[in-house]
Amino acid sequence: MAFCGLNLLNLSAVSAAPAAPNATDEARYAAMPTYSNKNNDLEMTVDNNGTHFRLWSPEAENAQVLIYTSDRNSAPVDTIDMVRSSGGTLTADSPKQLYGHFYTFRIKHNGKWLAETPGVWAKATGTNGERAAIIDFRLTDPIGWNDDKGPKLENYTDAVVYEMHHRDMSMHPSSGIVHKGKFLALTEHGTTTESGTSTGIDHLKELGITHVHILPSFDYNSVDESNLPANKYNWGYDPVNYNTPEGSYSTDPANPMARVAEMKRMIKALHDAGIGVIMDVVYNHTATNDDSNFSLTAPGYYYRHRADRSYSDASACGNETASEREQMRDFIVNSVKYWANEYHIDGFRFDLMAIHDIETMNIVAEELHKINPNIIIYGEGWTAGDSPLPVGQRALKENVAKMDGIAVFSDDIRDAVKGHFSDAADRGFATGKPGLEETIKIGIVASTAHPQVDYSKGNNSKFAYASSPEQIINYVSCHDDLCLTDKLAASMPNSTEAERIRAAKLAQTIVFTSQGTPFITAGEEVFRSKQGVHNSYCSPDSINAIDWTLKSKNAELFDYYRNLIALRKSHPAFRMTSAEDIAKNIRFDNTNIQNVVSYSILNNANGDSSKEIKVIFNGGDKPYTTRLKKGNWKILAEDGNIDPEGLRDFNGGSISIPPCSALILTR
Ligand code: CA
């Protein structure tokens, strides 16, 4: 499956001993000299003395640089032989500054010239990323770029993450956006539907999220950039050039300046709106195997293999990369550093992070936080298949305590709230399935150790794997699997839409009041449907594009989301930063009622103005009645309504929580 991006399997469970790799090849790779790209001088640099090429290819018998004046379909205007240099590299120089030109490399390996490649460090390319481009990056900077900064993030738990695909956000005619499907879509202010509700960047501001998480935006394979009128859609989990923006999101893929400049303009516009930008990165596999840029520069080296030398496949996409090897580790670390420095990226979401080793991820976090301590790093703490990398070295969810400054998605809370991700009909706590109360509690305490939480009753993980709430991303849905609207439709077959919207409110209220960092996927706030398509990675815009007329149709739900985010922002008690604080300040009530979880956050936790916040979730189909102590309570959420300023006062005593709803009070 070359163009997969499905990430459907959730194999965080520890499997049997992985297949041993080929010992001869491992010894050969380990003996290869390496060259760190910490100074950004690999492959191509321009200075006053001309243009310099340095390719890491330790086994190449010969290598050449081919220079072109156009991005494809033309003969080279020059071919320069490369000479062997230090650290496994080969070099070549041109006395001219070759701005405006394109280049490729080709190497001779085992007596054979391999196909041309733009290399692995191309930072600008022409159409379909075939040839690397030589451009002056300072000419791609928007006005004010030197002073551009993302939002300040004191703690990971202060972030509210909104995952989006460029086409989903803007392609629908109702978006009112001019640059549909482009980076520039989010630079347009004042866009509205016909009825006047805001869309695009204004919508994001109105909602109150702190960060957008953009689905893969580096150059990927599956959309033909030479035929954009075909309007092909793909999530983009099929990497080609890791250090170049995707051309189909630019207004002109043939112009290498356009994709760089336009992505920067998008980031600048979001930063100016106070919103950070998190990039989805997919270093775990490449779109192709023998034809990838990795394979054409250093055959074999960048990938893991089985003993029979076939590609191992923990990505379920045909191959997996080898982060434990020095040059690959250096590639990942310096690639994310490059995006942080050149594009001012505020965070990184690692696809199938457990394919990478723990040590690499720790270096990633350490190096990124040297550049900007506000950068947020999280990933999928699982693989999609078995790997030769030993389980103990994998950046798994269960190993996250060994990774300071890195968070993982909580599939525990995800599956407990709405039902199992792969079984459409399965219900969760918020839709009336009993027996998930303990996993909801695990979600509330962000998978940290708590004296009142029994991890043996958890649905997925059986121990407190997080050492801090800053290591947990809470969500009920993302681009993978059924979106929340469709999951509720599939699991509540005889329900009305009003009942499903009610369940959606309860589900997200659990996410947004839990410790950890909340995450939603675009369109949930307007009750967007993908017509029941659970893996829409290559579905057309008719499935994926968000119909923004839903925003006025479901205005009450949108307001609920907006107020839910405001509630979280106004109460630091929901955003604690240590496991100790959570254990000390959260006290669960022993209700022993199916589909009811009730707890208090005490002691003005994390500097909160409230002495106590009481949160009661009733996922059942009957009202739950309880007694609260006498006092000056203010009710913030009740029976599907929410207002961070307070809905009404309450003096204590008996109170009833209607079916499928949350009650939140403070005093
Ligand atoms: Ca592409």
Q: What is the pLDDT of residue 622?
A: 97
Task: Compute the distance between CA of residue 133 and CA of residue 591 in angstroms, rounded to an integer.
Answer: 64
CA angle 24/26/32 to nearest 5° reads 105
Q: Is there a contact between 219 and 168 (Cβ–Cβ < 8 Å)? A: no
Q: What is the pLDDT of residue 11?
A: 40
Q: What is the pLDDT of residue 1?
A: 28
Which is nearest to 8 in space by CA: 529, 447, 478, 348?
A: 478
Q: Is there a contact between 265 and 142 (Cβ–Cβ < 8 Å)? A: yes
Q: What is the pLDDT of residue 39?
A: 97
At 433 the three-state DSSP class reads coil
Task: Compute the distance between CA of residue 107 and CA of residue 86 in angstroms, rounded to an integer.
Answer: 17
Distance 297 CA to ligand 1 centre (A): 19
Distance 7 CA to ligand 1 centre (A): 20
Distance 221 CA to ligand 1 centre (A): 5
Distance 212 CA to ligand 1 centre (A): 21
Distance 225 CA to ligand 1 centre (A): 6
Q: Is there a contact between 218 and 280 (Cβ–Cβ < 8 Å)? A: no
Other residues' Cβ atoms within 10 Å of the Cβ of residue 659 = 17
Q: What is the pLDDT of residue 12?
A: 40
Distance 116 CA to ligand 1 centre (A): 17
Q: What is the pLDDT of residue 415?
A: 98
Other residues' Cβ atoms within 10 Å of the Cβ of residue 650 = 18
Q: What is the pLDDT of residue 21?
A: 78
Catalytic residue IDs: 351, 380
Distance 39 CA to ligand 1 centre (A): 26
Q: What is the pLDDT of residue 14?
A: 40
Distance 137 CA to ligand 1 centre (A): 20
- The pTM is what? 0.96
Cα separations in angstroms, 119 against 42, 201, 439, 560, 591: 10, 35, 47, 48, 61
Residue 434 CA to its chain's centroid (Å): 31
Q: What is the pLDDT of residue 9?
A: 40
Distance 573 CA to ligand 1 centre (A): 44
Distance 127 CA to ligand 1 centre (A): 7
Average confidence (pLDDT) per 10 residues, the chain, 667 residues = 37 47 90 98 98 98 98 98 98 98 98 98 98 98 98 97 98 98 98 98 98 98 97 98 98 98 98 98 98 98 95 97 98 98 98 98 98 98 96 98 98 98 97 98 98 97 97 98 98 97 98 98 98 97 98 98 98 98 98 96 98 98 97 98 98 98 98
